[in-house]
Amino acid sequence: MSVHASLSPASAEVRRLSAPDIRSRKGGEPIVALTAYHAHTARIADASCDVILVGDSLGMVMHGLESTVPVTLDMMILQAQAVMRGSRRALVVVDMPFGSYEASREEAFHSCVRVMKETGCGAVKLEGGRRMAETIRFLVERGIPVMAHIGLTPQSINVLGGFRAQGREEADWGPIEDDARAVAEAGAFAMVIEAVAEPLARKITAEVPCPTIGIGASPACDGQVLVMEDMLGLTPRVPKFVKRFGDLGPGIAAAIEAYASEVRARTFPGPEHTYAMKKPAK
């Protein structure tokens, strides 16, 4: 079987999850979400995850950028196309990158339409609470499922002054709660809550009608999401909220070292990895 064939949907009978499916999980079985940026990793994640997020974290994970701010719409579309080819069951949600949706509701609509048409994804994700509520409402009314993102919003890192946990003092809870209510009322089918004090994330989860998906938030959230490379041990520095469920970095390094050693010793490729001449026909 070719590589391309192995990445294609194996059966037309498998139904891909939709935004309404995820919304209906409020208060039920926890939603499992994970990022992916490639067809191969999407295929692996698809077996266990309900949501695959094509996150703008690809700027840092794949391209070595310092933040998500430089990520472009073209970058997101390219990787989302790969993820769609590699998955067949999970809802694929694509991050809208910084500068593609903030200027106006109309700009957001055109950017989101382009993403959904060119990738076939099932939903988009926008950062921001109250300030994005009207845009979320505008998009949902026009057929675009939106996942919201409140708390620490990485695209606003230059305003926030760094990657800092939010709501660690009760006096700061009000605006974050207002953000959660605003995006829920605007029609977001789910919301990511990032780097928010555990009691506040728990309180928001109990109060809003749509599922909350935590990342550095609370086990009480309706689901959890992590960056795949972080939880697999492939990134050198990770936030406090990341648990390394694997440590693939040393294994990959050891495999590459062994490969380099055999190439230099001319022991690879061996006879089993090369092609002999065909015997002449009699």
What secondary structure does DSSP assign to 144-202, as a single string? --EEEEEES-GGGHHHHTSS--B--SGGGHHHHHHHHHHHHHHT-SEEEEESB-HHHHH
Which pLDDT belongs to residue 158? 64
CB 16 within 8 A of CB 91: yes
* Residue 74 known to bind ligand: no
Is the pTM value of this prediction over 0.85? yes
pLDDT band at 4 (very low <50, low <70, confident <90, very high): very low
137-147 exposure pattern, b = at least 16 Cβ within 10 A, e = fewer = bbbbeeebbbb
Q: Across residues 50-61, what is the average pLDDT? A: 96
Q: Tell me the pLDDT tens digit for each residue of 125-148.
A: 999 999 999 999 999 999 999 999
Nearest to 208 by CA among 27, 12, 14, 7: 27
Q: Tell me the pLDDT tens digit for each residue of 156-215.
A: 766 665 567 888 999 999 999 999 999 999 999 999 999 999 999 999 999 999 999 999
CB within 8 A of 54, min separation 6: which ones? 35, 36, 37, 76, 79, 80, 83, 92, 93, 94, 95, 121
* Residue 56 known to bind ligand: yes
Question: Residues 177, 59, 189, 28: is their CA dihedral positive or negative?
Answer: negative
Both tokens assigned to 256: 């590459």
* Residue 222 known to bind ligand: no
Roughly how many angstroms between the first and final C-alpha of the chain, as a whole number?
A: 32
Amino acid residing at 260 = A
Strand partners, 101: none
* Residue 57 known to bind ligand: yes
Q: Tell me the pLDDT tens digit for each residue of 212-267.
A: 999 999 999 999 999 999 999 999 888 889 999 999 999 999 999 999 999 999 99
Which pLDDT belongs to residue 72? 97
Which pLDDT belongs to residue 238? 87
Look at residue 153 and tell me whether its pLDDT is greater than 60. Answer: yes
- Average model confidence (pLDDT) for the chain? 93
The CATH code for residues 19-243 is 3.20.20.60
Which pLDDT belongs to residue 6? 46
* Residue ranges of domains in the chain: 19-243, 248-274
CB 217 within 8 A of CB 198: yes
Kindly list the catalytic residues: 194
Q: How many whole angstroms separate alpha carbon 153 and alpha carbon 75?
A: 19
Which pLDDT belongs to residue 180? 98
The 8-class DSSP code of residue 91 comes to: E
